[in-house]
Structure 1
């Protein structure tokens, strides 16, 4: 039986049909894959929205509290010296005296110290009685990085008055009586860091 001959024109037509069919197959496969991917993402998004509160609760429980790490130690008695001096050794009733308070670094390494009046505290005493303190009222911290031969020098004025149990305006505090009073500088966080005492006389 004689085979049917296919003309060159028909072969070109068949070839184009096969190419078109192949392209359509690739397009269909790509569409199916894309639809499946969108379906999976949609289901995941719905599950996340439903369980969002539970996921956040678990995350909050698992996350540790952040810690502040500066890498610089706090100053100790081995790192700094405190000193205080008075502008006058005597003052009158209702008068005032200025104290120069100094923090001097002498340690081998850098260290941090709060140089505010609430931390580096000037205390006025009479015998065993505390008369006045620079930390009676709250103030902002004043962190200092001390290194080498650094010095921090500040002035604190005492108006020869006595602080109460609560923070009050300096002008409303009662005046002290005549007598000898002792001023000393110390660190509130470390009582081993303190200055030598300085005496002033209220006449």
Structure 2
């Protein structure tokens, strides 16, 4: 059938004034079919076995995000951090989502000197299976102190950095978040002076009031003594009169 088509095309081409060579080339291109593709373009990509056993997340599979509740906090005041873990891979993977693994570490401004880490204060594990584009978020609280002891010293005023990481996923870390710890406000010297002046005025008023009270008490005592003397004189005069009348 193909040969018959070629013969007919050749006859038509020659009759139409085309050269025999051009007609033969056209027939060959028609019979050759579509251009063949390279083997790597033809092969389909290997399908993902999303139903198979999940593997441990790798650093390339997850993305860590970290945000702070405030950019400035007063010495000794608490603050919190939100840690978000996102699966940016193509298959589900496993990681430890407990607070001991989802660690927030506080360092000095240079990032070299460690001040505090949430991983040092808690323990336990919480295996999580995170699907593609899945997100798991958790909050970490910090009391602006050094270490985990109940009476741990408070950090001093200055600039610090916070970074999130996954203990069981080496290399998985967040971008650092910078924040400031401000010193506590101290009482103003003028306020202290005003308070002292007020205390002095109160003390002076109390002293004057005490003096007034003493004077009033003294006047009262003098009046009582005078009344006693008058009563005594009256008694003496009466006694003398009675004695004279008895003699008469």
Shorter-chain TM-score: which interval?
A: 0.5 to 0.7
Aligned pair partner of 2:167 in 170, 188, 196:
188
Task: Give 2:127's aligned residue.
Answer: 143
Aligned pair partner of 1:100 in 74, 82, 101:
82
- 1:162 matched to 2:146? The reply is yes
Task: Give 1:75's aligned residue.
Answer: 57
CA contact (8 A) 2:58 2:170 kept: no
Separation of aligned partners in 2, 1:138 and 1:125: 19
After superposing on structure 2, the runs of 4+ consecutive aligned residues of structure 1 that deviate more than 6 Å are: none
For structure 1, which runs of at least 5 residues remain unmatched after alignment? 1-69
Structure exhibiting the larger radius of gyration computed from Cα positions: 2
Task: Give 2:220's aligned residue.
Answer: none
Name the structure with the higher helix share: 2
Separation of aligned partners in 1, 2:75 and 2:99: 24
TM superposition shift of 1:148: 2.0
Separation of aligned partners in 2, 1:123 and 1:179: 16
Output the TM-score relative to the length of structure 2. Answer: 0.50
For structure 2, which runs of at least 5 residues remain unmatched after alignment? 1-51, 183-248
Which one scores higher on RCO, CA 8 angstroms, separation ≥ 6? 1
Task: Give 2:154's aligned residue.
Answer: 175
Q: Deviations over 1:4-28 (max 9, x none)?
A: xxxxxxxxxxxxxxxxxxxxxxxxx
CA contact (8 A) 2:95 2:169 kept: no
Structure 1 vs Structure 2 CA RMSD: 1.5
Output the TM-score relative to the length of structure 1. Answer: 0.60
Q: How many residues align?
A: 129
